[in-house]
Structure 1
Amino acid sequence: MFTVPCEICGPVHRVVRPDRPSRRRWLGVSLLASVFSAAPATAQSASLVYRLGKDTVAIEQYTRLATGIDGEMVQRSGAAVVLWRYALTLGTDGRPRTALLARVPIDGTLPTGTARETRLTVSPDSIVREVVFADSVPRRSFAASQALINFPTFIYGPTEVLAGLARGGARIDSMPALGMAGTLGFTGATSIGGDLWRLRGGAYAMVLRFDGASRLQSVDGSGTTNKVVATRGPGGIDLAAVARSMRPTGVLSLRENVRAAFGPGGMVVIDYGRPQVRERTVWGGTLIPFDSVWRAGANDATHLFTTRTLTMGSVTLAPGMYTLWVQHTRTGTFLIVNKQTGQWGTQYDPVQDLGRVPMELVDATGFREMLTLSVQPAGTTRGTFELAWGDKVARVPFTVSAR
């Protein structure tokens, strides 16, 4: 027996390294029974614990076989904890031939209308997707030459296929790929030096590290909005037991409105998401890297609404709605005001910038775990916008028109 620390799941979980591969528990799935009936002696098991700062958000484990990859992943997201099992079979050329993703009911039942599994079958010039529901199996074929497969986020074991192709001399920067949701796109990876590769075509441009045998050693999303990191460990975790004791994350970054009044009819409102530090570095670190343009919050872009004309430094804003962004550099911190609204926080268009204003960055009086934005009025014609996170506070003054 051995233990796996899991801050989000409550106490440390005691897990057992099973005598037989975990896939034996689900050989009722006919495709897997035929594919993995005899695991070769070269089978290699591994696990990846995906952490968001101090918190574990997902655990994946998989076994690499001569004929493919057999794995499972548990993820806590929002209101649910979800357990997946997957299988990928490979041809002699190292490319996928079949894939399966099955959702495993943690409490014995699946939500109404939920697909039991998704099956993909790859031929030289097409890829077929079948979705298995309780009462039907919709099927669709996609034209694609030598297609690969994009698995959901937190299933990265199959990226060893990319590493194996690259090791064999194939160009892997961009290849057609079908996602489990039925979207035909591409996948690939580009070398960024040494044993590091940047993933392309997936939901996030994770940095992957492989060893000389094409085994995945780490996953690093700190340079993306995902922010999770994972390092290879041993397999043999009882993920079904882990899933039963996990707690859903709830909303990771709460949404909040802050507002201030400036005389009759004068109102300034900021709507933003509130991420937490979770023991990560903030200013010039993981959360607010130097020079990158940050959404000043989480999820949807941070929005500013004003009923009066505002002036911040050299930027004057007519009554209306805007989005706010922050760029932190080694020489200064700047608030950027943009006229695009209604977008997700990664959809920043610098062409629509209205201007940028220097912010004063000072030490905070206390550590702020959760990002906190505020509008501080100073009478009816002046105020200060403040952004406090970690050990710093960034602020910029503004004036408000009388009407």
Structure 2
Amino acid sequence: MKKSTVVATVAFAFTMLLSSNANAQKFPDLDKSPMDVAAYPNDYKDAAKIAKVTYSRPQLKGRSIDELAPSGKVWRTGANEAAEITFYKDMKLGQNNVKAGTYTIYTIPEKASYTVIINKDLNVWGSYFYKQENDVARLSVPVTEGTESLENFSMVFTKADNGIMLNMGWDKMRIAVPFTE
């Protein structure tokens, strides 16, 4: 066999090996509760962020909030992994100081209020392993009712007096969490 034929055969076999390996990769389907990020300032052109929250967005799909985030129980504040909040400067939640850094944000839903919890644990799936002893701050905030129903759990930051507000909404439930400087 000629040398050029052997080289061509080896090259072809190597190419087939690589292409079959690439075709064998399995990629997951789109998550049913996609991950999202909200930051303040909201403008993507402004890199001087104060805070950012990363969370998954569960959908009602005919269910009630109480089925997905039961009243009186610690909730991961979203779906899948517990939501994480990053502060790029020291802030306060109520009277509690929260140093710049990344934390898990949990909530305890109630009919008239939600208790918002900032916790030191990170990379936590759900709220199954929540440890109260790792809480940094807690604040109870009132529930208000929105005029429109939100199918997907949503969070957005807005400017507030002396800080920022983390607004959460789902169905007609709305809460506003004040973080001050």
TM-score by structure 2 length?
Answer: 0.76
CA distance in 2, matches of 1:112, 1:259: 38
SS at match of 2:68: coil
Superposed displacement of residue 377, structure 1: 1.8
Match of 1:339 among 109, 120, 123: 120
Do structure 1's residue 382 and structure 2's residue 166 form an aligned pair? no
Partner of 1:280: 63
Q: Where do 1:1-400 residues align within 5 Å?
A: 250-261=30-41, 265-282=48-65, 285-330=66-111, 332-346=113-127, 347-378=129-160, 381-400=162-181
Q: What letter corresponds to residue 351 of structure 1 in structure 2?
A: E
SS in 2 for 1:293: coil
Is the 1:256–1:273 contact (alpha carbons within 8 Å) kept by the matching residues of 2?
Answer: yes
Q: Which runs of 5+ in 2 are unaligned?
A: 1-22
Amino acid at match of 1:269: K
* Residues paired across the two proteins, number: 154
Paired with 2:163 and 2:77, the residues of 1 have a C-alpha distance of 22
Separation (CA, whole Å) in 2 of partners of 1:323 and 1:113: 33
Shift of 1:330: 4.5
CA distance in 2 between counterparts of 1:271 and 1:360 reads 23
Letter in 1 for 2:37: N
Letter in 1 for 2:143: L
Higher RCO (CA 8 Å, separation ≥ 6 residues): 2
Give, in whole Å, the separation in 1 of the partners of 2:47 and 2:36: 24
More strand by share: 1
- Cα separation, 1, equivalents of 2:25 and 2:137: 48
Report the alpha carbon displacement of residue 113 of structure 1 after superposing the two structures with TM.
Answer: 9.7
In the aligned structure 2, how far is the partner of 1:363 from the partner of 1:322?
A: 28
Q: Aligned-pair distance for 1:277?
A: 0.5
Cα RMSD for the two superposed structures: 2.6
Contact 1:375–1:383, Cα closer than 8 Å, also in 2: yes
Measured in 1, the distance between the counterparts of 2:30 and 2:77 equals: 21
Hey, what's the Cα distance between the residues in 2 that align with 1:319 and 1:112? 43
Q: Deviations over 1:29-74 (max 9, x none)?
A: xxxxxxxxxxxxxxxxxxxxxxxxxxxxxxxxxxxxxxxxxxxxxx
Q: Is the 8 Å Cα contact of residues 270 and 304 (structure 1) preserved in structure 2? A: yes
Task: Give CA deviations for 1:162-201 in whole Å, capped at 9, x if unaligned.
Answer: xxxxxxxxxxxxxxxxxxxxxxxxxxxxxxxxxxxxxxxx
Shift of 1:266: 4.4
Q: CA deviation at 1:249?
A: 6.7
| Native 8 Å contact 1:304 1:322 kept in 2 | yes
Partners of 1:266 and 1:308 within 8 A in 2: no
- The Cα shift of 1:338 comes to 0.4
Report the CA distance shift for 1:298/1:291 in structure 2 as closer, same or farther (over 3 A): same
Scaled by the length of structure 1, the TM-score of the pair is: 0.36
Structure 1 contact 255–271 (Cα < 8 Å) conserved: yes
Question: Which AA in structure 1 matches 2:133?
Answer: V
Q: Tell me, what secondary structure is at the counterpart of 1:393?
A: strand
Paired with 1:354 and 1:311, the residues of 2 have a C-alpha distance of 10
Larger radius of gyration: 1
What displacement does 1:312 show? 1.5
Amino acid across the alignment from 1:291 = G
Cα offset, 1:331, TM superposition: 5.6
Structure 1 gaps of 5+ residues are 1-110, 115-247
Kindly, what percent of the aligned residue pairs are identical? 23
CA positional deviation for 1:354: 1.4
Letter in 2 for 1:378: A
Letter in 1 for 2:166: F
